[in-house]
Structures are given as C-alpha cells and as structure tokens.
Structure 1
Amino acid sequence: MDQEERTRRAAQARSKAEELAGKGVTGVAVTWVDTSGITRVKAVPLARLPHAAAWGIGASPVFDAFLLDDSIVQGRFAGGPVGDLRLHPDLDRLAPLTALPGWAWAPADRFDQGGRPHPLDARHLLRREVRRLAADGFTVRAAFEVEWAASVGEGDDFTPACAGPAYGMTRLTERADYLRDIMEAVTAAGVTVVQIHPEYAAGQYEISVDVDTPVGAADTAVLVRETIRAVSLNHGLRSSFSPKVLAGGVGNGGHVHVSLWRDDVNLMSGGQGPYGLTSEGEAFTAGVLSHLPALLAVGAPSVASYLRLVPSHWAGAFACWGLENREAALRFVTGAAGERHHAANLEVKCFDQAANPYLALAALLATAHDGLTTGATLPPPVDADPATLDGPAPLPSSLEEALPPFTADPVLARAFGEAVIDTIATVRRGEIALFAGATPEEIAARIRWRH
C-alpha cells in the first residue's frame, strides 16, 4: 500500500465520517473472522476513522491460532506473541448498526506493517480466488443463509424463545416485533432481505438475503449475524448460531448459494446438461463435489459440526448432488419456470456457521475453478434420501476424519499456500484435543454461545 493509496483512503474516510456523524454515530467496530469462525473486533472513535483507514489499527497475528474458547495453539506460522498487523476498514462496506445506536461497522483487511496483505487474511484469499476466476472470464454470485436459535433469559442453558410448531405462523406471531426489528435493522444496514421465517428446531429462525459478490456475501454474513445478535439482546434474548444448540436437536446450518456467470449470463441455466446446466456450470459444480471431504475442514470446521452433519436430517451428510434434494450435500436449485436464467444456483448444504465465511467461499471457488480447468463432469444425480441407497458415499463423520483429506488436497494447497493449510490444520487439531472425551451434550453446551 503506497502513500497515494493511504491518502485516498483517509479522504474517503473523512467523507464517510461526516455522513455517519449526521446519523449519530460515534464509534466504528472493525471486524475480522478468525480460523475458528469467531468474529473478533477492534473499535475506534469516529474521529479516528481517517487515520485507521490510512494506517490501520494494530492487532496481533496470534488470533489466527485462537480456538473457540480463546485458548491459543502454536503452529509453524501462527500462535506466538511476536509481530503486529494493521486492520484497515473497508470503507465501501461501512454501515450503521441501527440495533447498536451510535455504532457503525466495517470489515477489516489485514496487512503487515509494510503495507502488504497478511498471508493468512481470509478476505484477501477470497479476493484472490475471485480474481483467478475473473481472469478466465467468470464471475460468481453468492449468498449465505443464516439460521439461528433464540433463547429466553441470560443463562447458559437454552430455553426456546417460541413454542409454536416448526415453520408455524404461531412462531412468527409470538416474536413478531423481534422479527420485524431484525428485518428493519438488516435493511437499514444496506442489505436486501429476501425472506425470514421460523425453522424446524425449537426457537429457530432463518433469514435469507440477496446475492452479492463472494466477498460481499461473506461480509454480509458477518453483518447479518451481528445485527441479529444485537436485536436479540435488545429483546431480552440470546441468539446462538452454533451448529448444534442442543445435542438431541436439529442444528443451525450455514448453507451457501453460488452461481457461475459470464458476460451477465447465468451458466447454471440454459445449457444442454442435466437440469439445464451449461458445460461450464456442470464443471463448476463437479469441482466442488469432487473435493467435498476436504472442504469440510473449512466449511464444517468444529467438533460440533459433526453432531449436526448426520443422515436424514436435511444436513447434506452424503457426497452427492441432486435436483432440489435437501439430503444431498449439493442441492441444485433451478428456480421457478420463467426466472431460471436468473435464479438457478448451487446450494452447499453441508456447511455451517462455525465456518469463517471468507475461508469457506475461497475454498469453494478454488475447487470449482479446478473443475472448470479440468472440464469435470457430474455423476448421475441422486433423487432420494442417499441414506436409503447403496451408492452415495457418506461424508466424514467427525472433524478427525475430515482433516486428512483437507491436508492432502493439492487444489486447496495451491490455492491457500502452506501457511494457511498448516494453521487451519493446527487449529482443527487443537479443537479436537479440546473436546476429547466430551459427550455430545457437553460439546453442545460448551460451544452453544461461542458462535
């Protein structure tokens, strides 16, 4: 980052600060997501925003080696007390947090002291994968679904905030003010809400937002979750985004929707392949499918993830794909007749919200790009619950099982580099050790309020 760029950022920040001051904002929360999927923050007074934009906010690189309980593991490339980074807020995503009066938010890009991108910065990794696809003429549109469970009271036990039936109008009626405030707060932050509804598990809801660029989609996932968390507290509730809130219940997914485009044409539709896929759309999907076991260490990165990722629970526990098959890890969505040219997309169902959304999308795009490069093709789709069939292979059933395919995957190794692969593996092994011997009930209770 040269002096000209620093000057440009400072000027942009002064303009933004004047606008935010008129809205009563006095502080800016600058966030990044660590390897364990926890959103961390440094905040500055609004008057300090121009300096932060130009020169960054100091933060230790040790957060790359944090576990979800805030203990620290030591890897070859992360975990020690030495070093410093600079957090530069992305002013293009700067938004007021209407659920937290006086506050605004911006995602951070992490740089070293010399102004170079931090090699372990997940936002930078995702941008790099976007650029690789763009060099071949492709763009990707993406969105995360956000599921959460709302609990009454301040204790660490979970008490569902609503009592109505799954997907029932009763649940909306019980918490109508709460859901309205979430919609309004998310919208005020500049995000388009597509839908909001009660989900299957006790106290569980889901919100869907409009598609964006991959980096924009990951930013939005962070912003939406933190907005929900704030609105929940304002209503005397606690919100959990954990993969497994209760050991015997249905967990929270973090489904990712992606579609491949070229020259504003959706390549997931209008082709001669299965269900209208173009050859490029098929190769994109096949690339993800062939790397699913390795992708789990990024997209289902917690010990608790595998309490959720079980057959016949609509979690996507099998390495297969199918048209509107909610038991397949990859659900192909065509959309309604008449809007398929816009709506057709791939839903990755096996991911959850313990994932760092930037890392998750970077890994997805890297494997999808490999499919495009090799001209990969899809196996036959699965049109039933794969648990009832002989063919589809189950995905890893534990974090221990997911690590070997991840560390051995050459595509992810090339995309991420040695430092990122080693750090992710070190953090995953740390979490495995942290929960060694714990029962599902103990795992769910200890992780419940961490995400």
Structure 2
Amino acid sequence: MAQVETKNRATSSEESRKRVCARIEEERVEFVLLWFSDIEGHLKSFAVTPSEIEDALDDGMGFDGSSITGFNAIEESDMIAIPDPETFQLMPWKEGETKVARMICDIVTPDGKPYEGDPRYVLRRALERMSSLGFDTFNVGPELEYFLFRDDKGTETLDEGGYFAMTTLDAASGLRQETVRALETMGIPIEYVHHEVGPSQHEIDMRYADALSMADHTVTYRLIVKEIAKKAGFHATFMPKPLFGENGSGMHTHQSLFKDDRNAFFDGDDKWHLSDAGKAFIAGQLRHAREISAVFAQWVNSYKRLVPGYEAP
C-alpha cells in the first residue's frame, strides 16, 4: 500500500466516523474489508486491521491505480480509497470464524479531488444533475438472475426446474434461503425469491432503494450469492447466456423519480397515467439505447442473450 500524507480528506461527518470506530471495538471486528469497483464493475477489496481504521476514515488508504482496470496510467498511479462510514456492515459469519466487516470506498486523487473514473462518483454526479432538475430521489429496483452449476469447470445444472418450480424440482431452495439470510444480515431487504425459467436458474429480488444505496447493495449481492454457493460446493454465475437453447440471465431494472415524496412519473389525468416527465424519461432511454447498451451489455456473451424467443430484450 502507498503511504498517504495526512490531509483530512474525509467527506463524512466526524460523528459517523466515531460511530463506526466504536462499533468495530464493540463487535470485536478483526478485519475491515474496504471495497470499490473498477470501471467494468468488478469489485476490488483490501483489508485493514482495526488499528488503521481511524486514519483510513480521516485520510484514506493509498493504492496503485495503474493496476486497476480503467484507472490511471503508471505515471500518475497514486490513488486514495476513502471508506464511507454509512456503508459499514458486518460480513455474515458463524461462531468460531474470524469476524470481518466491510465499508465501500470513494476514490480520490492525492490532493483530495474525486476521481472521475470512480463509478461511485459517476453516479453521484448523475444524482447531482437530477437534483438540479428539481427531483429529490431516483429509486432503482433491479432483478438479478443467475445460474447455479455443479462446479466452475462446466455447466452441469443442479435441477431441471422451471419458473416458480416447487421444492421437488428445485434443488437449491435451501441455498437461496441461506443467501437471503446473509443478505438481510448485511442490511439488504429482500422482497421475494424463486426459481427462474431456466434449469438451475434463480432470482432473489431486493426491495427498491435510492440509486446509490442500490448500487452498493448490488455489488454486495453478487459477492454474497457467489460466496454462499462456493461454501456449498457449487458455482454461481451472472453470465448473460451460459446455456445454449435456454433463457439467459438478465438484470431487469425498475426505475422511478420522486419529487416532494410523490412519483414524478404519475399523472392521474393522463390517458396512460404518465406525466410529461415520465414520457420524457422513456423517450430519453429509447433515444440513447445504443449508448446505454455499452454499459448494460458490455460483453460479447451479452449479445448471445439478446436474440428472439428467449424473453430478451
């Protein structure tokens, strides 16, 4: 890790930082994982001990940005990860295991300026633009689908169940329940769970939340799903189209804008109950569909899913 000059780069409140330090001591946490995402959405992590947390919260922890996909070149590689105390959560653990917590970080340059390549900062900027247009909240509710395979060496499925299959055809109902318990332990509310259309395909739906919270929930969700599957000896994948001739996995995303605690997309007097803002929102997404696809369908495999006959797009 790079040495970090003390500059008090923290953007969080002193009260929230003290609260996290007290919680770490109270819970006897041995390690704190500091997470952030690269430009492709891959989760990155490093661990610090409780003795380093206060300094990390105040000044951040330095790292080599040139080794992170999409970050800086080696000539200007120094980057700082500043933990957001509002994201502190205990990782799911069992009696006798090392007690671990996590916080999600914002990435800044050594002079304390937000790094423009940090996906979390990109989202914050978009939310600031939303506020400048007079809206209060952008709520997001994604539906993440995934497959469970026998191992990571192939695509042997665990069952032949279909949509909403009952237990006799659903070999992983217990595993889904364990995953839900782990997610809720980490402060992620779950609405419902079920077997999806494809064999050994599953869906666990998080309750909608504001966009930044949901982004944090989603990177956590993907890790927890994979970790719980791995502990059971299986392999979970969010690959868009792992099985030829079967439905692929999508991430259908429900979206809504609120203003003064009211749904800005709703107009009771309109024929379709859509406000002008709602219509403009839909039109904007259609207008920029190609550009949006660069983010939502970023892999070659994504386009193997986007074919007629398999409920996509």
Partner residue in 1 for 2:117: 120
2:301 is the alignment partner of 1:304: yes
Conservation of the 8 A alpha-carbon contact between 1:31 and 1:108: yes
Distance in 1 between residues matched to 2:55 and 2:244, nearest whole Å = 46
2:143 is the alignment partner of 1:149: no
Partner residue in 2 for 1:441: none
Secondary structure at the aligned position of 1:275 is classed as coil
Partner residue in 2 for 1:43: 47
Conservation of the 8 A alpha-carbon contact between 1:171 and 1:198: no
Q: TM-score, normalised by structure 1?
A: 0.62
The alignment-based identity, stated in percent, is 26
2:221 is the alignment partner of 1:224: yes
Distance in 2 between residues matched to 1:82 and 1:171, nearest whole Å = 57
Name the structure with the higher strand share: 2
Aligned length: 304
Task: Please point out which of 91, 104, 127 is paired with 1:97.
Answer: 91
Distance in 2 between residues matched to 1:130 and 1:254, nearest whole Å = 21
Task: Please point out which of 134, 138, 141 is paired with 1:140.
Answer: 138
Distance in 2 between residues matched to 1:151 and 1:268, nearest whole Å = 40
Conservation of the 8 A alpha-carbon contact between 1:166 and 1:201: yes
Q: TM-score, normalised by structure 2?
A: 0.88
Conservation of the 8 A alpha-carbon contact between 2:155 and 2:242: yes
Partner residue in 1 for 2:250: 253
Distance in 2 between residues matched to 1:105 and 1:273, nearest whole Å = 46
Residues 238 and 135 (structure 1), Cα distance of their counterparts in 2 relative to 1, 3 Å cut: same
Partner residue in 2 for 1:34: 38
| Runs of at least 5 residues in structure 2 that lack an aligned partner in the other structure | 1-5
Please tell me the residue identity of whatever aligns with 2:81: L
Higher-RCO chain (CA-CA 8 Å, sequence separation at least 6)? 1
Partner residue in 2 for 1:200: 197
Distance in 1 between residues matched to 2:77 and 2:45, nearest whole Å = 18
Please tell me the residue identity of whatever aligns with 2:34: V
Distance in 2 between residues matched to 1:179 and 1:137, nearest whole Å = 40
Q: 1:220: Cα distance to partner? A: 0.6
Q: 1:61: Cα distance to partner? A: 2.3
Q: Which moved more, 1:172-181 or 1:222-231?
A: 172-181
Task: Please point out which of 100, 122, 128 is paired with 1:131.
Answer: 128
Distance in 1 between residues matched to 2:213 and 2:83, nearest whole Å = 14
Distance in 2 between residues matched to 1:218 and 1:81, nearest whole Å = 31
Q: 1:158: Cα distance to partner? A: 1.9
- Map 1:37-436 → 2, pairs under 5 A: 37-63=41-67, 65=69, 78-80=72-74, 82-99=76-93, 102-138=99-135, 139-153=137-151, 155-170=152-167, 174-273=171-270, 275-316=272-313
Residues 278 and 3 (structure 1), Cα distance of their counterparts in 2 relative to 1, 3 Å cut: same
Distance in 2 between residues matched to 1:79 and 1:255, nearest whole Å = 35
Partner residue in 1 for 2:3: none
| Runs of at least 5 residues in structure 1 that lack an aligned partner in the other structure | 67-76, 317-451
Secondary structure at the aligned position of 2:255 is classed as strand
Secondary structure at the aligned position of 1:168 is classed as coil
Residues 211 and 13 (structure 1), Cα distance of their counterparts in 2 relative to 1, 3 Å cut: same
Please tell me the residue identity of whatever aligns with 1:94: F
Root-mean-square deviation (CA, aligned residues, Å) is: 2.4
Please tell me the residue identity of whatever aligns with 1:45: T
Q: 1:229: Cα distance to partner? A: 1.4
Distance in 2 between residues matched to 1:4 and 1:82, nearest whole Å = 21
Name the structure with the higher helix share: 1
Q: 1:56: Cα distance to partner? A: 1.4
Q: 1:80: Cα distance to partner? A: 3.9
